[in-house]
Amino acid sequence: MEYWLMNMKLVDSHIHLYSAEYLDKLDDIIREAIKEGVETILCVAEDYETGEATLELSRKYDVVYPALGMHPWTAINNYGDLDKVVRQIEENIGEIIAIGEVGLDKKYESGEKGWARQLNVFRKMIELAEKYNKPLNIHSRRAAKDVLEILRIYKVEKAHFHWFTDDENILREIITEGYYVSFTPSITYSKRMQRMAKQVPISQILTETDGPVSFYGILKGKLTKPIHTKLVLQKLSEIHGYPPDEMAEIIYNNFKNLYGIK
């Protein structure tokens, strides 16, 4: 590893550590992450069961912070669990640092009924975030315009668009609203993601992996882990022309400011 990437405060602002790909390797993955400078890992839930697993992981590992929420595909396929997820969030509100992963996804729209379910769940998640002053960790695939319109209606102040891949015009509106945008290891090989990253002010940028999602380039065939945020940091440093140590400090402070970490 390059010298300048050692002893830096790295941040993984969106990962699913409860996934099967990690279960028998998690102690080593967390140990490795801490050794190589990962200070904060935000584990985001998708439903009630993964919410319970997320809470358990955050209690076991000091570096892991929990977010609870109901993912768009859960909204479609397990809509009846909404009340249970809401109770879970409220009962653990003192432990979690965000409501997530929540949002809208037109890839999983599943017709009028499915879209209505997504909208209802997302609105409920926003209401919880506003009630308890928690930021939203947002999924917006092919639906960023719809997400942004709803956030504006609710006058949401704290939101984080994870792995934004939607329209670049919408990205500029998201930036104008003061919301945060995070980038994954896809930025190391995707020219489009590099172009998007250049448009986001460094004061609104975060790094993430979205593990266990796999990537191409130098990570092809490898298990995605929190330490791979160093690759994202390196590319962001190149794009914005900041020394890596300064970029790392900026991103770390961005995370703390958004999620209320001391």
* Phi, psi dihedrals of residue 101, rounded to the nearest 5°: -90, 125
- 163: alpha, beta or left, given left = phi > 0 and alpha = psi -120 to 50? left
Lowest-confidence region among 108-117, 177-186, 225-234, 239-248: 108-117
**Contact in structure between 72 and 118 (CB atoms under 8 Å):** yes
Residue range of the domain that includes 245: 3-259
| pLDDT score for 134 | 98
pLDDT at 188 over 70: yes
The Cα 161–Cα 180 span in angstroms is 6
Rounded Cα–Cα distance for residues 75 and 2 (Å): 43
Which amino acid does the sequence have at 247? M
Q: For residue 262, what pLDDT band results from cuts at 50, 70 and 90? A: confident
- The CATH number of whichever domain residue 12 belongs to comes to 3.20.20.140
Q: Which of 141, 153, 50 is nearest to 96 (CA)?
A: 50
pLDDT band at residue 110 under the 50/70/90 scheme: low
Q: 219 with 228: CB under 8 angstroms?
A: yes
Number of folded domains in the chain?
A: 1
Q: Other C-beta atoms within 10 Å of 167: how many?
A: 12
Number of residues assigned to the chain: 262
**CB distance 260 to 99 below 8 Å:** no
Question: Average of pLDDT values for 168-176?
Answer: 97
Percentage of the chain modeled with pLDDT above 70: 97
pLDDT category of residue 111 using cuts at 50, 70 and 90: confident
In the predicted model, is pLDDT for residue 159 greater than 80? yes
Higher pLDDT, 231 or 6: 231
Per-residue model confidence as pLDDT tens digits over 48-104? 999 999 999 999 999 999 999 999 999 999 999 999 999 999 999 999 999 999 999
In this structure, what token pair is assigned to residue 93? 């509100």
pLDDT of the residue at 17: 98
CA-wise closest residue to 258 among 165, 157, 122: 157
What is the mean pLDDT of the segment spanning 209-215? 98
Mean pLDDT confidence for 200-212: 98
pLDDT for residue 4 is more than 50: no
The predicted-structure confidence for 113-149, as pLDDT tens digits, reads as follows 999 999 999 999 999 999 999 999 999 999 999 999 9
What is the distance between the alpha carbons of residues 158 and 174, in angstroms, rounded to a whole number? 11
pLDDT-derived band of residue 1, with 50, 70 and 90 as boundaries?
very low
